[in-house]
Structure 1
Amino acid sequence: MPPWILGEERFNSVYPHKGSIKALWETKWKFCSSKSIYPFHDGAFEDFEPIFEKLIAENINDPFTDAYTSAFTPVVDALEKEADAALASNQAGRASDLYRRAAVVLRISRFPYVSPTTRPSNQAKRAAFNRQKDLYLKASALWTPVLKEEVIPHTHRASNDGPSIPLYIRLPVEASASNPVPVVFLMTGLDGYRPDNSQRTHEITNRGWAAVIAEIPGTADSPADPADPESADRLWSSVLDFIAQRPELDDARVAVWGLSAGGFYAIRAACTHRKRLIGAMAHGAGSHHFLSPEWLSKVNDHEYPFTITDSWAEKYGYETTEEFIRDSQKKFSLVETGVVDQPNCRLLLLNGVDDGVVPIEDSLILFNHGGPKEGRFFEGMLHMGYPNSLPVSYKWLEDLLSPNASEVKN
């Protein structure tokens, strides 16, 4: 591999937030929480400051421990109690806000990864995630339009796939059998799941589109066999069949939006399901180099809040991280396996040039394979290219799904 576009110095450096919760909070997350940006989007700073003061005071630095996860529980309990009282007093708007805030606190408590498995090490995170979903659905039931969960059969399941697929669905008020609406199919990431996309669903439904959200193989509630590279293809076939059967949804205008680790699957779907999609957006996507032993040897030192290789290993169905580092590129790379040598539907690649989670080379390499691609890459920006990438993403979707509609301001 030639020198990384990230630069040798950054590639080999340990980013300043690494090593302790105190460093993470003071150099990175305190600002993110105060601005309600990833991973604190939809949250409130006043909920998080006392939690992180407690974590720092008690020197709790490992997010994969029960001690970390349980430190968030008292704030969740207080917010839920306040939300219940507001709902009982017919203050639906306040109740919804409080349930949502509690769900965001639970998001950070179960961060960075929840596995579909029932390993003992996953139990506290799983319990926090289950509670997050419950509180989130209480909040979203009070929205206009509402967001609901629907569990559909996995009709294309095979081998070790599970039997059903849980989705979140939010339809604009104008959607009906006589007025089917375009669909944005969100494929979630390694640490962001179905309850973590409120603002996206607001933006989508405000534009007259439906939002359908599913989790990617190896994460959260996904039934797909994480060790089988083709399980994702079966998963998306089942979801797209469901969309085609819903009269309120226009299955001729379905666009995929893959977020971070979900971007990998958006690229794959753009090839494997090209005839069923009007377009796909791979936002912060890995494709090939991110699975190389060279990249994996340094990625834990980069911008991701915590270590990431152990979570990636479990997400891709490996028993050990060492085996993942050694073998995953040959098995899962979209270049090595030839997936991206197929034709593709319209495919937009979005990312920050200085991404330290997946290298920008993983977007650039795709222009040498398969059909034409579109790309927009942001100098000086990190993973996902936030915040500059979001207006571009919505404008691209508008041109794709509602080309004659008046522009919606973000």
Structure 2
Amino acid sequence: MSYYIGSKIKEKAPHHESFKDLWETKWKKPCSMSVYPFMFGKVEDFEPVVSKLIEMDMHEPYDWDEYARAFFPSAAAVVVKAQEAESSGDRKQASDFLADIPMQEVQIPHPHAVYDEAKTFPVYVQVPAAASKESPAPCIIIFTGLDGYRTELALWRNIFIPRGCGLIIVEIPGTGDSPALKQDPKSPDRQWSSLLDWTETQASIDHNKLVVWGFSTGGYYSIRVAHTHADRLKGAVSLGGGCHHMFDPEWLGEVDHLEYPFDLAGALAYKFGYPDLESFKKDARAKFSLLENGILDMPCTRLLLVNVS
């Protein structure tokens, strides 16, 4: 098997040596720009956390409880600043810490649920104030990734809402509040069917102008929904998603020392409902590959692929 990354699949990325290396070689620049995985953040908020983690000599395998505790003091300080600004009536400063365009959490009915799947699931929704039955807004549905949740991806509201587009943010199977059965390859199809059914009941959303945008592992679901629900979408974007090789046993055996900063293979195994990596490796390609399961042979809406494996 030859992958796009070629012989480098055996190489260990420098940011796996320690948290100090992770910060200096990979995270410091995006943190200064407030981009993934530091959305909503500012570098000055993270600097005390970074100093603490470096002082603790954090490195793989990480103690995640200790790792998380290092963030609590800075997080609490940001909350206090936000509350003080809000109490003083300084909305501009408060909006630096709180949402200036708040998202609404909506419980979506899940009539397509089976077995033990929840009968509702929460999503974040926001539409432009001018949207109405007479002038419904087109809408972008964001599929979150393996380690992204609707709370952080809500940052896109500031981009799309002012441009007249509604926004729906939904978590993918095995993460957040998704109701989908982890090991059932068809569970996402049921979740998306219920979500799309719901959009048809919303007068302010133009259900004929829906586009899906999936990030990372969410990109896998963008590719799938582009085929399974082709007639209900105007288009789909898969940003950094996978559809076949991401389930190869060979790939899963190497990814933990590559681009992703932490344990990717184990996280994927858990996300897809497996207790350990070895059992996931045995099933993954046959069960979840969109190529081997014929999904890619189905009719497809317009699909934009960005760095897909």
Q: TM-score range by the shorter chain?
A: over 0.9
Structure 1: state its 5+ residue gaps: 99-138, 352-359, 363-410
* 2:94 aligned residue: 95
**1-structure distance, mates of 2:62, 2:105:** 28
Structure 1 runs of 4+ aligned residues shifted over 4 Å read: none
* 1:178 aligned residue: 134
**2-structure distance, mates of 1:96, 1:149:** 19
Cα contact 1:260–1:283 (8 A) shared by 2: yes
Cα contact 2:224–2:295 (8 A) shared by 1: yes
Name the SS of the counterpart of 1:186 in structure 2. Answer: strand
Amino acid at match of 2:96: D
1:287 equivalent in alignment to 2:243: yes
Matches within 5 A, 1:288-307: 288-307=244-263
* 2:72 aligned residue: 73
Amino acid at match of 1:44: K
Amino acid at match of 1:293: P
Cα contact 2:154–2:169 (8 A) shared by 1: no
**1-structure distance, mates of 2:103, 2:159:** 13
Q: In the TM superposition, what is the alpha-carbon distance from 1:23 to its structure 2 partner? A: 1.1
Question: TM-score with structure 1 length normalisation?
Answer: 0.73
Matches within 5 A, 1:363-382: none
* 2:185 aligned residue: 229
Q: In the TM superposition, what is the alpha-carbon distance from 1:198 to its structure 2 partner? A: 3.8
Amino acid at match of 1:85: E
- C-alpha deviations, 1:130-183, integer Å up to 9, x for none? xxxxxxxxx23xx24x32111122121112312211110111122111110111
Root-mean-square deviation (CA, aligned residues, Å) is 1.4
Structure 2: state its 5+ residue gaps: none
Name the SS of the counterpart of 1:185 in structure 2. Answer: strand
Q: Aligned to 1:35, which of 33, 36, 61?
A: 33
Q: Aligned to 2:24, which of 21, 26, 39?
A: 26
Paired residues, what number?
308
Cα contact 2:226–2:235 (8 A) shared by 1: yes
1:6 equivalent in alignment to 2:5: yes
- C-alpha deviations, 1:241-266, integer Å up to 9, x for none? 11110000011111111111111111
Matches within 5 A, 1:5-154: 5-8=4-7, 10-61=8-59, 62-63=61-62, 65-98=64-97, 139-140=98-99, 143-144=100-101, 146-154=102-110
Amino acid at match of 1:4: Y
Q: In the TM superposition, what is the alpha-carbon distance from 1:64 to its structure 2 partner? A: 5.2
Q: In the TM superposition, what is the alpha-carbon distance from 1:190 to its structure 2 partner? A: 0.4
C-alpha change, 1:64 and 1:280, in structure 2 (3 Å) is farther
Cα contact 2:180–2:191 (8 A) shared by 1: yes
Q: Aligned to 2:201, which of 231, 245, 257?
A: 245
**2-structure distance, mates of 1:82, 1:204:** 27
**2-structure distance, mates of 1:28, 1:240:** 38
**2-structure distance, mates of 1:256, 1:276:** 11
Cα contact 2:189–2:228 (8 A) shared by 1: yes
C-alpha change, 1:186 and 1:64, in structure 2 (3 Å) is farther
Name the SS of the counterpart of 2:178 in structure 1. Answer: coil
1:270 equivalent in alignment to 2:269: no
